Structure 1
């Protein structure tokens, strides 16, 4: 069933991980998808196997205002409209306390994880409004609610994603644009799997039943389908929410 026929979706961070799974899921279900991000060498093989009339990738640094606008202009030229934006671009700097972080490390984490959402939304809201409304989904994290030692920049940026999403939901309701965040837990992306390997296994990172109700990490497609729900008509009354897709992690940590 092509649930997203005729919908045009912009996805950031689209070379790998949650974002690439989202591109695949949406495109397989009828959406025309425009992916942006870095790591074009990683993205090349995946996008080469897609129909270029309905699924494209443009190498874009989401920290760069001009590069974002160039991508949005190209999207409009190719597809003529925009119905949804999915902000997945992110990094996970870890292992340092505040006094050990450099200005550059802090600024880069905030620039990619939070400020890029502001910049992408600033560039795309006019297109969504012109389409008669739409949906924005921003990838946040359980770290916005309950965090761990050594990730100050990540926790701060993801808490900011939730706050920004809720605020934009209020500002853009008049334009029929819904804005939501997703609080993800551990997901089997390249970064997470590398961390698990370095730690000596999932149990070393606390991914056990005692900490996580579903004692495993998520497949990226499980996040992609949740994103699909939030941009679908079935979620027409959902805005300003922070949807937990975390295997029950917060239910345990916050009790």
Structure 2
């Protein structure tokens, strides 16, 4: 896979770092936009890793990240892995300000939409590709107190299903992953007393991501 590039948003996070590391180990050229400098220590030094400081909400900075992802003609952009996201819970709908919904839609839906939109022309020109977005099992098994989060993740599923139909003739596959709670340091800190036996392991998700990006996917 050394002749292909994957753009991994959120690639320095608790899930993103294992995904990025796994793709590098499998021979991918990986481009990771980043904002939090302290998170860079989670990633290994690697000749195929290209880090771009970028706020993906800013159109110019997003285009700069896409430019790096498409800069190597010997390794064209093929994979787009949208891992940027956020979680909130604890308030029922009548208690949660509308700003909470806006924030969740921005983190979980708008970023995936805008990054995918920016990459699609390049994937089409290259003859195809694979796009992966993060949804959640809660969209099928909701729980109280997280309506903004669950609604935003359900919107991701609708987006993915539509993209898959729109771009099938362009040989672009689009999939959503729908894990339960992911076993990251952040989730462990937020839920210290939880039973983690059924939590999804980042290493397992990384292998699924790599499978979906591959020809076997």
Normalised-by-shorter TM-score class: over 0.9
Shift of 1:83: 0.5
- C-alpha offsets along residues 73-108 of structure 1, whole Å, 9 cap, x if unaligned? 232235662011000101101111222222332211
Counterparts of 2:212 and 2:147, CA distance in 1: 28
Q: Which residue of 2 aligns with 1:250?
A: none
Aligned counterparts of 2:90 and 2:13: Cα–Cα separation in 1: 23
| Consecutive aligned runs of 4 or more in structure 1 exceeding 4 Å deviation | none
In 2, the alpha carbon distance for the partners of 1:112 and 1:61 equals 12
Q: Which residue of 1 aligns with 2:21?
A: 24
Would the aligned equivalents of 2:79 and 2:213 in 1 still touch at CA under 8 Å? yes
1:180 corresponding residue in structure 2: 175
1:202 maps to which residue? 194
The 5-angstrom pairing of residues 95-244 of structure 1 reads 95-197=90-192, 201-203=193-195, 215-235=197-217
1:70 to 54, 64, 74: 64
Would the alpha carbon gap of residues 100 and 65 (structure 1) be closer, same or farther in structure 2, given more than 3 Å must change?
farther
2: CA distance, partners of 1:95 / 1:37: 29
Measured in 1, the distance between the counterparts of 2:139 and 2:54 equals: 26
> Please, which runs of 5 or more residues in structure 1 have no aligned partner?
208-214, 236-255
Distance across 1 between alignment mates of 2:35 and 2:185: 15
Q: Is the 8 A contact 2:3 2:76 kept in 1?
A: no
Mapped contact 1:95–1:150 kept (Cα < 8 A): yes
Over the aligned positions, Cα root-mean-square deviation in angstroms equals: 1.6
Aligned equivalent of 2:38: 41
Alpha carbons of 1:78 and 1:5: their partners in 2 closer, same or farther (altered >3 Å)?
Answer: closer
Query: For the Cα contact (< 8 Å) 1:109–1:153, is it kept in 2?
Result: yes
TM-score (norm: length of structure 1): 0.80
* Unmatched runs of 5 consecutive residues or more in structure 2: none
Count, aligned residues: 216
- Partners in 2 of 1:78 and 1:36 — Cα distance? 17
